[in-house]
Amino acid sequence: MNREVSYFKQFFISVVIGFTILFIASLIWNIHGENLSTYELAKVEAEGNFNKDLTFRRWTATHGGVYVPITDSTIANPYLNFLPDRDITTTTGKKLTLINPAYMHRLVFQMSNKKDGQFGHICNTSPLHPENKADEWEEKALKLFTTGTEEEYYSTELINGKEYLRYIKPMRVENHCLKCHANQGYKVNDIKGGISISIPMDKYKPILRAKIKSIIFNHLIIFLLTFIVGALSYRRIIKVVRQRDASRIKAKENEEKLKEQNKKLIWANEKAIESDRLKTIFIQNMSHEIRTPMNAILGFSSLLLDEFDNKSKLTEYTKIITQRGNDLMFIINDLLDISKIESKNLSVNIEPLNLKTLFSELLPLFHEIQKRNEKSHIKLVIPTITEDLILYTDKGKLKQIFTNLVGNAFKFTHEGKIEIGMKIDNPRFITFSVKDTGIGIPPEKLNSIFDRFAQVEQSSSRLYGGTGLGLSIVKGLINKLNGEINVASEINMGSKFYFTLPYKKQNLIMEYTNPNNNINHN
């Protein structure tokens, strides 16, 4: 994957993870806040209740208590029997009893506690009535008040398995309290008790649940919207990056194509220059190659008249004239051949050819070449063929190929041997080779050696003679016969030209070289 695309992918994944963490944190924070505010609400309710209870108590205390009729549930307070006017009878004979603030609260709380689950309790560390005795939680709070650590105290507690917010505030002894409590040693401003309110949390739970649901819903909507917008932006960015990359790649490809075309143009230009140069050299060579035999022919022809009576001279000059005439003929034939190959006008005559016959006919020709090149000291090795091997090819062309290659071998070899090889190691091809121990071909020339007019050294035409057409004719002929030619060579060690031709005999692996069959023309 493209580096930039994978970077954006990683970035997008990180942003999604980051946002998810943020949303979860926000969700937890909001739910927690909502939970706290529910307890705050319960506390406000408890505080309100406390203030109302305290006001009632004060009002009752400032009046030194209130008189109420005695009933089954409201009996005379036995803890006030030290007061002479605890019980009174009205002028109409109604019996009333004095209700002090603590007793009143106890009675009111008994009534309300039964009703709505929330309950209040007036508590004291040393109450007159045992019911007003502070429980453990209240006692702990009262202790905090008397030491001055807290002004109010609240917490959530489990009572009978239900959750309550418990709230308590102290009550300070006021003057009017002394009426009932002076005998207990109370002094004004002392903290002797408090009122505790317990609010059941049950009633806040449905509200809390609804709020939490709404928080979750809002968060989900925001999260989904953010995610969709993010994903769409991500897709857009990736598309733009990919499009930009594609156009970059396209531009690079075009640049490469241009470079390639440029290279081809440069190569074609170099080739054209080289071909032009070779043509010029070729024309120079050609005029030299034609002029040399022509000069000989003209020179010896004019000498013929002077030596008309001298039979031996006449024979010698005629031979030279014929020889040079043949040389001219070879050059003209080569020119004709190359023009036929180039214009694709070369025709072949495929017929069965017995290789035994081929080599028996080639041998005198090789002999002739060797003689003409004055290389009788060089060994010539040809394959020994005992059986009849039939090849379907153009005999004349194949002979031309061999005479050309063997002609070059003799021309460029001064010592050693020339070896003709034949191998059938592939059911579809036969491989012939012409190997010499001559001057060799430099590696940088091996690729161009089969091009027309190509010669290793420009001076070689003068040193060795030749037009530079032979190998390109050989290659053209072999290609026409559906074969291929190649060369391996090493400077001063020799060269091996090897070429393949189609062959039909199946499953045959044979090598035809016979070192014993050397033909040494010493």
SS3 assignment, position 486: strand
Bridge partners of residue 168, in order along the sequence: 153, 196
SS3 assignment, position 482: coil
Position 436 contacts ligand ADP (CB under 6 A): yes
- The strand ranges marked E within 173-291 are 191-200
Per the structure block, which two tokens stand in for 428?
């579809």
Candidate segments 201-209, 291-299, 380-388, 450-458, binder of ligand ADP by CB under 6 A: 450-458
Candidate segments 125-133, 193-201, 452-460, 477-485, binder of ligand ADP by CB under 6 A: 452-460
Interface mask (CB under 6 A) for ligand ADP, residues 399-418, using x and -? ---------xx--x------
- The nearest distance, CB 467 to ligand ADP, in angstroms, is 5
- The nearest distance, CB 353 to ligand ADP, in angstroms, is 24
Candidate segments 69-77, 140-148, 164-172, 431-439, binder of ligand ADP by CB under 6 A: 431-439
- Give the residue among 123, 141, 143 at the shortest CA–CA distance from 132: 123
User: Which 3-state string (H, E, C) describes 138-155?
Assistant: HHHHHHHHHCCCCCCEEE
Interface mask (CB under 6 A) for ligand ADP, residues 323-362, using x and -? ----------------------------------------
Q: Quick one: 120 or 440, whose CB is closer to ligand ADP?
A: 440
- The nearest distance, CB 334 to ligand ADP, in angstroms, is 8
Using the rule CB under 6 A, which residue among 296, 406, 422, 441 binds ligand ADP?
A: 441
Are the CB atoms for 242 and 5 separated by under 8 Å? Answer: yes
Q: Please count the residues of this chain forming the interface with ligand ADP, following the rule CB under 6 A.
A: 21
Position 165 contacts ligand ADP (CB under 6 A): no
- The nearest distance, CB 278 to ligand ADP, in angstroms, is 11
* C-alpha span between 403 and 471 (Å, rounded): 11
Tell how strand 119-124 and strand 417-426 pair up. Answer: unpaired
* C-alpha span between 57 and 492 (Å, rounded): 134
Q: Quick one: 382 or 449, whose CB is closer to ligand ADP?
A: 449
* C-alpha span between 474 and 485 (Å, rounded): 8
* C-alpha span between 29 and 26 (Å, rounded): 5
* C-alpha span between 128 and 75 (Å, rounded): 16
Q: What's 86's DSSP letter?
A: S
Those residues whose C-beta lies under 8 Å from the C-beta of residue 13, and which sit 6 or more positions away, are none
SS3 assignment, position 383: coil
Candidate segments 32-40, 220-228, 239-247, 463-471, binder of ligand ADP by CB under 6 A: 463-471
* C-alpha span between 138 and 168 (Å, rounded): 7
- The nearest distance, CB 416 to ligand ADP, in angstroms, is 12
Type of residue numbered 379: K
- The nearest distance, CB 502 to ligand ADP, in angstroms, is 24
Q: Quick one: 77 or 285, whose CB is closer to ligand ADP?
A: 285
* C-alpha span between 231 and 140 (Å, rounded): 58
Candidate segments 67-75, 378-386, 419-427, 460-468, binder of ligand ADP by CB under 6 A: 460-468
Using the rule CB under 6 A, which residue among 194, 438, 476, 483 binds ligand ADP?
A: 438
Using the rule CB under 6 A, which residue among 456, 477, 481, 501 binds ligand ADP?
A: 456
Candidate segments 15-23, 310-318, 447-455, 476-484, binder of ligand ADP by CB under 6 A: 447-455
Position 370 contacts ligand ADP (CB under 6 A): no
Bridge partners of residue 489, in order along the sequence: 495
- The nearest distance, CB 286 to ligand ADP, in angstroms, is 11
Q: Quick one: 466 or 476, whose CB is closer to ligand ADP?
A: 466
Q: Report the residue count for the chain.
A: 522
- Give the residue among 407, 422, 416, 409 at the shortest CA–CA distance from 359: 422
Which residues inside 483-512 make contact with ligand ADP, applying CB under 6 A?
495
Candidate segments 112-120, 129-137, 389-397, 455-463, binder of ligand ADP by CB under 6 A: 455-463
Per the structure block, which two tokens stand in for 256?
């490469």
- The nearest distance, CB 280 to ligand ADP, in angstroms, is 16
Per the structure block, which two tokens stand in for 102?
């603590």
User: Which 3-state string (H, E, C) describes 204-222?
Assistant: HHHHHHHHHHHHHHHHHHH
Tell how strand 379-381 and strand 417-426 pair up. Answer: parallel
Candidate segments 42-50, 95-103, 161-169, 439-447, binder of ligand ADP by CB under 6 A: 439-447
Position 293 contacts ligand ADP (CB under 6 A): no
Position 466 contacts ligand ADP (CB under 6 A): yes
- The nearest distance, CB 484 to ligand ADP, in angstroms, is 17
Cα separations in angstroms, 85 against 76, 77, 81: 11, 12, 9
Position 471 contacts ligand ADP (CB under 6 A): yes
- The nearest distance, CB 494 to ligand ADP, in angstroms, is 7
Cα separations in angstroms, 295 against 301, 314, 318: 10, 17, 14
Candidate segments 6-14, 86-94, 105-113, 435-443, binder of ligand ADP by CB under 6 A: 435-443
How deeply is 71 buried, as exposed, middle or buried, from its count of CB atoms within 10 A (0-12, 13-18, 19+)?
exposed
Q: Which residues bind ligand ADP (CB under 6 A)?
A: 408-409, 412, 436, 438-441, 449, 454-456, 460, 466-472, 495
